[in-house]
A and B are shown apart, each in its own frame.
Chain A
Amino acid sequence: MSRRLSDDEYQKTLSFKLRQWLDGTKDPFLDVVETKPQEIVIEDRDGQDRRKKERNLIYEQVYDLKNNREMKWFERIYRVLSVAFCIFLVVMLLFAVSGLPTFGDPKNPANNEVSKRYIEKGLQETGAVNIVTGMILDYRAFDTLGESHVLFIATCTVLILLRTDKKYGKDTIEYREANDRTHEPKNDVILQTVAKILVPPIFIFGIYVILGGHLGPGGGFSGGAVIGAGLILYVNAFGFAKTERFFTAKTYKIMSFSALACYSLAKSYSFYTGANHIESVIPLGTPGAILSSGLILVLNICVGVVVAGTMYTFYVMFRKGGY
């Protein structure tokens, strides 16, 4: 493309300024913004060779492609078989589903004395206005205890897989990759301003959802997810240097341990007293008050802490591999 104006003249025109603004390299209020376009990673010769060699090694050592007759045979029939199998599965499941009780029929077997008691006596027995919370944290608290440990163990597995504990020197590729700021703009003003406005309400909303779990829709899982999202927004805007002042790997460890330990202890107390027919000393309080429904509030807070930590840790691990 040829331009009629010379470069100097072109840079004075309006269209050039518009283009600069669209590209985000210049802001009408702040002048030139410090942004760094993403570096295009050019793989050097050695890296390419190494990658090729590794791939060939896998093919030879693991699959032994040249001499693997099973593999060749498998590749040939795989597509046909997989399609046939999927069709079979879909037809079978559709057929089975069509034989199930009609959805929404009041005479269905699922509408029995179990759900009746949850609905009719739930408020009186658990003290929770929100029946769902009463069900998951009081009637069937053992399942939820297991479920919060599922979250915990999932984080531990991610830590095993992604946490980089080795310290690399400043000039290595690994160090540059771990330093996540190479791939994105630094100190984006729009993001920072928005985060400054949004993050506090997000946190407060999350805390509200957790604390109000027994009074209305909400609870530990959803509130924890909201707080986790707020943390992620904050770290995106301001970087790890700021979040690490209050949230490090150690904080996460202590937080999740104390929350889960608190959950286990609280529930052990109620399981033990329940099974041995001892009267529990924890009062249910007036339904609707914030301090009511016995242990449910405490358990909601525990679950919320675990979930928030899990969300944030997942993000950090995938982004950088360590706090």
Chain B
Amino acid sequence: MEFVQNLPFISIILSLFSGPLSSVLDGKKAKRVNIAVISIIGVMSAAVLAYVVRTGKAFVYMMGHFPAPWGNEIRVGVLEALMAVFFCVIMLLSMIGGVREREIQIEETKQNLYYVMVNLLLSSLLALIYTNDLFTAYVFVEINTISACGLIMIRQNGRTIEAATRYMIMSLLGSGLLLLGICFLYDLTGQLLMSNIQAAVRALDASGQYHIPLLVSMVLISVGLAIKSALYPFHAWLPDAYGYSTLSSAAILSSLVSKGYIFLLIKIFYRVIGFGIVRESKVIHILFVFGIIGMIMGSLSAIKEKDIRRMIAYSSVAQIGYIYMGFGLGTLPGVIASIYHILSHAATKSLLFVAASGLTDSAGDSTDFSDLTGAGYRNKLAGIAFTVGSLSMVGFPVFSGFISKLLFAQAAVGHEIKMLPTLIALAISTILNALYFMNTVIRIYTPERRRGNEKQRVVPLREQPAKSAALVCFIVLNIFLGLSSEPIIEMIRTGLGMFM
């Protein structure tokens, strides 16, 4: 066994260990530890990715002295390693981008607790990505939920406490349904290891036994994870949670936490139940329909918003609709498009949050549109970054959003029933996206004619070097995803192949 194969396990343990470590350090040291841990894990995951791509085979890592159905194990393929690298990059940039906001908005004595949350969140995301065991997945879903609550409410004002309460209620409901689903599956198959459950489910499906409990467990798991990732009718917690929490929290929550659950759902569909069985059940049509409704309703709510951060938050509802629509198609190209959109949306949404905070800096922290008129001139880099993000969201070529829209459209073409609704929904949603994002871009580049708004001030580039660096990296990442999408799509394809 090569040493590289230890790295996924080391990265999970390292991030778990750094959580309690941050709790005994003070805020500044905890920040350094956090940045170091995320970077080290990013580098290690990149090494794992290179190794898996080279060997072309997924490997299983035994956690302890006992082989799989008795002990725990993790499993690493191309897709898992790719996700881990990507999540680390996004998390690092979000943390760097929000340094100043964290210092202002979080009480000084509680700064280190923020890093406890972030480190443990990272460990739970890694464990969700790598795990090959359903119950381990549930344990780390718990860590994920609690730390996300902490991230929302650590900026203490009334709105965030309310948002955290809502998030907690909805999210716990989701966890409960997920746990029920897992219990059903365990009762039917007697296994918790993903590959063993799949073999047992195949046998059950072939013999036609326990058809209804199997279907119900699928429904429970899908609905539970859909609530946690804010699919349309369950999105009520989202705008407040993203809109009022501190900047890095909003970026991390929107781009990583909800995506982690979606990835887990895809993994369960592929590795636990088997995509063929999922496709035959009606569950996938329901996800498809709600995905499409979400695409349109999310955008409509975003158009009505007068607050830039809440607008971006509502746009997330629409984008999560895209992802669910993609694998609601039930075809391999559809799932590939979904996974690509997970990456593209994560990169773009965190870019938009950081850029929007750059714009609001120039308006005295007001997030209201009326104060943002001409903000693109007062904070030039943030203006450019926001424009890039908006164009990517709308689906302008060169940027990552274009590729994912293209992939969705390609996946839809040739599907017997779902082709027309998908294409129509894509078209309508693109127009709606353009409506509110371009409206905002035009507003920030309209020169301010009114005089005497004392909130507005010019923010020079050098004032916030960390945020500027993060924005530049985000822009580069976005253009990279847009221009060289081919190798990444290839990796996703081989990764999904390894899922079998």
Contact = CB atoms under 8 A, between A and B. Distances in A.
Interface of A: 58, 62, 92-93, 95-97, 99-101, 108-114, 117-118, 125, 138-143, 145-147, 149-150, 152-154, 156-157, 159-161, 163, 165, 253-254, 256-257, 260-261, 264-265, 267-268, 270-277, 280
A226 B32 CA distance: 38
A273 B65 contact: yes
B65 A150 contact: no
B213 A100 contact: yes
B61 A275 contact: yes
A274 to B, nearest CB: 4
Contact of A275 (B16, B62, B136, B191): B62
A117 B70 contact: yes
Contacts of B39: none
Contacts of A156: 23, 113, 116-117, 150
Contacts of A112: 190-191
Contact of B162 (A62, A109, A260, A273): A62
A62 B236 CA distance: 13
A261 B107 contact: no
Interface in B138-197: 139-140, 142-143, 146-147, 149-150, 153-154, 158-159, 161-162, 180, 184, 186-191
Interface in B8-32: 9-10, 13, 16-17, 19-21, 23-24
Contact of A274 (B17, B62, B142, B189): B62
Contact of B72 (A97, A140, A157, A159): A140
Contacts of B20: 149, 152, 256-257, 260-261
A153 B150 contact: yes
Given A152-B23, A253-B23, A260-B17, 13 more contacts: A109-B189, A110-B187, A114-B69, A114-B70, A140-B135, A142-B72, A149-B20, A152-B120, A153-B150, A256-B23, A274-B64, A275-B9, A275-B64
B191 to A, nearest CB: 7
B17 to A, nearest CB: 5
B11 to A, nearest CB: 12
Contact of A270 (B6, B19, B64, B187): B64
B70 A139 contact: yes
A108 B190 CA distance: 8
Given A143-B135, A264-B13, A275-B1, A150 B62 contact: no
B66 A153 contact: no
Interface in B85-119: 107, 109-110, 113, 116-117
Contact of A92 (B113, B146, B216): B216
Listed from nearest, the 6 A-B pairs whose CB atoms lie closest are: A109-B190, A96-B216, A146-B139, A142-B72, A274-B65, A110-B190
A160 B111 CA distance: 10
B47 interface: no
19 contacts: A112-B190, A139-B64, A139-B70, A141-B63, A141-B72, A142-B136, A146-B139, A149-B19, A149-B123, A149-B143, A153-B19, A161-B153, A256-B23, A260-B20, A264-B13, A264-B17, A274-B66, A275-B61, A277-B1
Contacts, number: 178
Interface string B208-231: 001111001100000000000000
B56 interface: no
A78 to B, nearest CB: 13
Nearest to B69: A114
B212 A276 contact: no
B43 interface: no
A63 to B, nearest CB: 11
A138 B65 CA distance: 8
B421 interface: no
Interface in B285-320: none
A156 B146 CA distance: 10
A97 B69 CA distance: 25
Contacts of A110: 186-187, 190
Nearest to A113: B69
A58 B187 CA distance: 47
A113 B17 CA distance: 34
Contacts of A261: 17, 20-21
Contacts of B191: 109, 112, 114
Contacts of A140: 71-72, 135
Given A140-B71, A261-B17, A157 B6 contact: no
A273 B66 CA distance: 11
B34 to A, nearest CB: 14
Contacts of A113: 69
B33 interface: no
B127 interface: yes
Nearest to B12: A142
Contacts of A143: 72, 133, 135-136, 139
Nearest to A152: B20
Contacts of A265: 17
B283 interface: no
A110 B69 CA distance: 12
Nearest to A121: B70
B200 interface: yes
B67 to A, nearest CB: 9
A253 B24 CA distance: 6
A150 B113 contact: no
Given A153-B120, A275-B6, A99 B210 contact: yes
A268 to B, nearest CB: 5
A142 B190 contact: no
A139 B188 contact: no
A249 to B, nearest CB: 10
B156 to A, nearest CB: 8
Contacts of B13: 264, 267-268, 271
A71 to B, nearest CB: 12
A278 to B, nearest CB: 10
Contacts of A161: 153, 161
B125 to A, nearest CB: 13
Contacts of A274: 62-66, 71
Contacts of A150: 139, 142-143, 146
B136 A146 contact: yes
B159 A62 contact: yes
Contacts of B70: 114, 117-118, 139
B158 A58 contact: yes
